[in-house]
Amino acid sequence: MEKYSGNIFVSSGKLWEGIEFAVENISRLKPIAETHNGHRIAVNLGNPHYGDIKSWGHWRKQLYEKGAIGLVPYGEVNECRARVDIVCATITLQLEFLEKTFGGTTILLLQTRGVNDSVIYHLALALREELINEHFIGRFYAESLAHILVLHIARTYPEDKNRIFYPKGKLTAGQLKRAVDYCYEMRETGFSLSDLAKEVNLSIFHFARLFKQTIGYSPWQFLQNLKIEEAKKLIRSRRNSLTEIAYQLGFADQAHFCKAFRKVTGISPGKF
């Protein structure tokens, strides 16, 4: 994580593969004219406001409610200005990550302005909260959030709705066994969603969808449940403190571990 004293409050920098996230303060009337190294999404985190968008050589007024987004596909010029000082989250999705997610398929998106999107808004809030509190988000979790985001924008803002094939069915017994065995073997050392997909020779998109259709949990939920079951065994043994258990299972700290434990079990580790 990177922190700044200037216009960028907090940034993921190069922490996550394929996705860059930042919270920025943009000054009123300061014109922006730029292209980005991926698909860029800006999310209004503050009060409703009007901005100006330049399109075909002319400026037009655009309302941004709280939670509204602006989506600028890769290669297109983002030319805009705010009429008041604003705070927004920016998410840049690298092209390589999208193609990797969809198994080599190129996803073309439509430029979108001022649309209220609660899914993207809440994903941005979750990322901001984790970064501000300096919780370490592992590659697996970050890729899982990015995967949700990619699927959402591909479904919601595609240039061609027929371009994405949504796989049906389930993983084979052999694929499921390899995936589960890999999770058990690597649960303490850490791995990414793409690592897990490679283990069964599928794209991230196909693997995540088939995995959930097979066992009813997303890969991230399954891994969290696996860690919590391991935590229960360690708590029962009374050989380790909660801080030691949190560190052993790859959580940022005891508070992060306790939050995850309560979310899965409904009670705190201390009451377990």
Q: Same domain, yes or no, for 147 and 226? A: no
Are 123 and 16 within one domain? yes
We report the CATH number of the domain holding residue 93 as 2.60.120.10
Please say which residue of 103, 121, 156 terminates a domain. 156
pLDDT per residue as tens digits for the range 124-145: 987 787 666 655 445 677 677 7
Same domain, 184 and 143: no
Residue that wins the pLDDT comparison between 215 and 146: 215
Instruction: List b or e across 124-162, with b for residues whose CB sees 16 or more CB atoms inside 10 angstroms.
Output: beebbebbeeebebbbbbbbbbbbbbbbebbebbeeeee
Residue range of the domain that includes 135: 2-156
Are residues 101 and 138 part of one domain?
yes
Question: pTM of the prediction?
Answer: 0.70
Name the token pair of 125.
């809030």
Task: Tell whether 161 is covered by a domain.
Answer: no
137 and 223 both lie in a single domain = no
Residue from 78, 100, 108 nearest 90 by CA: 78
Name the domain boundary from 110, 127, 156.
Answer: 156
Residues 114 and 78 in one domain: yes
Tens of pLDDT, residue by residue over 84-104, are: 888 899 999 888 877 777 776
- In this structure, the answer to whether residues 147 and 199 fall within a common structural domain is no
Number of domains in the chain: 2
